[in-house]
Structure 1
Amino acid sequence: MKGKISHCVYNINYHIVFCPKYQYRHKVFNGKVEDTLKWTVQEICDPYGYTLLRMEAMPDHLHIFLSAPPTAAPTDIVKKIKSITANRIFAAFPGIKKKYFWGSGLWSRGYYIGTAGNVGAETIRKYIEPGNPAIRR
């Protein structure tokens, strides 16, 4: 999805996946917890200029596909989403923190992030090859 900010048109899309701590023991994203998680991620996107393209919460991990402006660092996107969702879920369901996470955080430290766009790497390589008539030098 293309976006626009001052003097810039961009198409930067991220596939982000992260898991709660102790994922092999506790599958916590179902029912009202899943609804709260999804609602919170949607709510986070607008004020930060992200466009949520797709999201799926599995019982033990979360997939997010979003577009973000070039001013947003991928690590900052992940930090914001993890922090805000953890605070909201623990506020709405205080028993989860005590029962499943022993008073610690909701999310594991690691995550996956990949980029996606409309053009593949091979197309870009061919476009910028020396001698390409499409490029003015």
Structure 2
Amino acid sequence: MESHKDHIHLLIECHPQHYIPSIVKAFKGVSARLLFKKHPELKQQLWGGHLWNPSYFVATGSNNTEKQIRAYIQSQKKK
């Protein structure tokens, strides 16, 4: 995982039977709940009290491309 001011990169391995929107919803929900529990003042600073935008981007890879994807995510730390 790598975070930026307005987005994060995640490399997640899941099976085809997993429903990607449910994975994203769970990640966003749990992370927002934990962050707001630790820092309740943030909720007042955010527009509408929401941590995450409802949209997201997903791309698929394979065992052949995992190394390149990891390298890309790691390279974002330097930017």
The reply to whether TM is greater than 0.5 is yes
1:115 aligns with 2:29: no
SS of residue paired to 1:71: coil
1:1-137 to 2 correspondence within 5 Å? Answer: 55-99=1-45, 101-118=46-63
| Structure 1 stretches of at least 4 aligned residues deviating more than 6 Å after TM superposition | none
Gaps of 5+ in 2: 66-79
Provide the C-alpha distance between the structure 1 equivalents of 2:37 and 2:64, rounded to a whole number of angstroms: 42
- TM-score, normalised to structure 2's length? 0.72
- TM-score, normalised to structure 1's length? 0.43
Provide the C-alpha distance between the structure 1 equivalents of 2:42 and 2:7, rounded to a whole number of angstroms: 16
Greater helix proportion: 2
What is the CA deviation profile of residues 36-76 of structure 1, one whole-angstrom value per residue up to 9, with x for unaligned ones?
Answer: xxxxxxxxxxxxxxxxxxx1011221110110122311111
**Counterpart of 1:73 in structure 2: which amino acid?**
Y
Aligned-residue RMSD, C-alpha: 1.7
Q: In terms of Rg, which structure is larger?
A: 1
Q: How far apart are 1:103 and its partner, in Å?
A: 4.8
Q: How far apart are 1:102 and its partner, in Å?
A: 4.2
- Identical-pair percentage: 32
SS of residue paired to 2:63: coil
Give the number of aligned pairs: 65
